Structure 1
Amino acid sequence: MSPAAIDSTAGQSIPPETNVPKPQTPDLFSLSGKTIAITGGGRGLGMTLAFAVLEAGGHVACLDILPAPSSEEWFELQKLAKMSSRTASYRRCDVTSEVEVGKAMEEIAQKGDERGAPFRGIVACAGIQQKVPALEYEAADFERILRVNVVGAFITAKQTAKILSKNKRGGSIVLVASMSGQIANRGLTCTAYNSSKSAVHQMCRSLAQEWGRYGIRVNTLSPGYIRTAMTNELLAADPEVEKTWMAGALLGKLGVPDDFKAPTVFLLAEGSRFMTGADMRVDGGHCASA
């Protein structure tokens, strides 16, 4: 085949682009000159991803329902920001409140413009979990899981997209889903959580279909079993669960938050510029062995 692409519709050769500079590989994984927001950024996985944004050259704005972020982690994040001449900010925000999220996003975008690092993306990491047998699941608790994990993710994505489309800059929205949106987890009774993450997968595809014309990419990141404060509580309550999880661990280990830094940066950065409506599953092979 010749170097020129073939347009099968017109039947004519289309010359390759010659004046577009080709980015170097490190640039494809850089967040330099960008401001990225992270919900659920007060601790755990969200805080770890905040470190990843700074390390990739970006400015980060963390949001969480906690009154204040985890003090030890926040101290280290601020130290890194100062050393790298970048910024890390924190705002208390309830992701289920359209007013609070909208206000926070506007403030983040304004600050980004002021420092010459426009708001270009978000990681919707806020979420809750609950382990209850389905026969005993109260409808109010089920609705609470969906409210935070699904409605909260939608509000976050919507308010972000409103700013990105208005400013005509495009950007990347990363919705943190889970492999639990694709499988039923052995040893866990988490019907509401699993249902919520399956909904996030479909939300991603639907939003990507609507917002691609604005240059906004929407993808999901689906972690497997990882050790966070939330999962450690589950394991402490039922040690047999960890044995069940390890039985399907093809790499012989569970994940840790650091395992998701590179995938998240990739989804936010230009390296994934032709990727939208897709799911990146990082599960240590659990789904392959299910």
Structure 2
Amino acid sequence: MSEPAEPTVAAAARVYDYMLGGTHNYAVDRAAAAQTARSFPLAAVGARYNREFLGRVVRFLTGAGIRQFLDLGSGIPTAGNVHEIAQAEDPAARVVYVDYEREAVELGQRILGGNPNATAIRADLREPEDVLSRAGLLDFGEPVAVLMISVLHFITDDEQARDVVRKYVGRLVPGSYLALSHLTWAGGRAGTLQRETSHVYNNTVAESLAIRDVEQVASFFTGLELVEPGLVPLPDWRPDDPDYVPDEDDVPRQVGVGGVGRTRLDVSSDL
């Protein structure tokens, strides 16, 4: 049987995989990443910042007692996956990965084949009822962390994006969490580079890209208690280095923000 033809259109998950040093990508994805890098030379650094943010978030959540994770738009499995971090803390931690790209899900299923507490399902995160009905590994009667890491900018309609978030959060019991990261507009030269990148990306990758301002990203946390330090540039969220000092001239730092919100335990709960 002949090998399937390589794809002719780049996919976001594969481009991201390539930027992180992964191997699950094709020539068309590497070309799209190269085009992005020409417009925004530090794009790969931004991707790394996002991945490191995810790792710190999962470690924080496991430390807060969370043992169930719904990772929406999880992409292609690469080093430092949610289940690796969470199950290092507690092997019984349960993780459901969700993506609509068949290749990403099939790879995830192969990797997780011997893991009874983690699975990958192919579904569209824009259809919360379908996703939640198929995430049977998770018990939504107990706290769950919903992860939307670098994925909401693929929902280009603002109201649809807010509605999708509301529907997931609406299923969470008190003590659950929403964690997300998102591209946001930067000023000065960073903003110029970012606009160029957005144009290149939207013309070379199958998915479109919506970049939102910080206020729009903050609206996704409506009704939740933001965990300190709030919604901040990705490297600034609970950095591992106790001596970390934000670099205002770091372009990738300026174009992505992240935060974690908690559903209220009661009206007087403090973070």
Answer yes or no: same fold by TM over 0.5: no
